[in-house]
Amino acid sequence: MKKIAMLLLATFLFGTVGTAYAGTCDYHWQRAKDGSRCGDRAADRQ
């Protein structure tokens, strides 16, 4: 039960961090403001 709670907490925290930085395209795994994946447009791929 404790593992499930920790997994849910980690998923929630990662989701909110990803949303907080949406649109910046610092990393290839993020999403742009229009909702598309940043991919090769991201700063870490330049």
Among 16, 24, 31, smallest CA distance to 39 is for 31
Could you tell me the residue ranges of all domains in the chain? 2-45
DSSP string, 11-25: HHHHHHHHHHTTT--
pTM of structure: 0.47
Q: What are 11-44's pLDDT values in tens digits?
A: 766 655 555 556 789 999 999 999 999 999 999 9
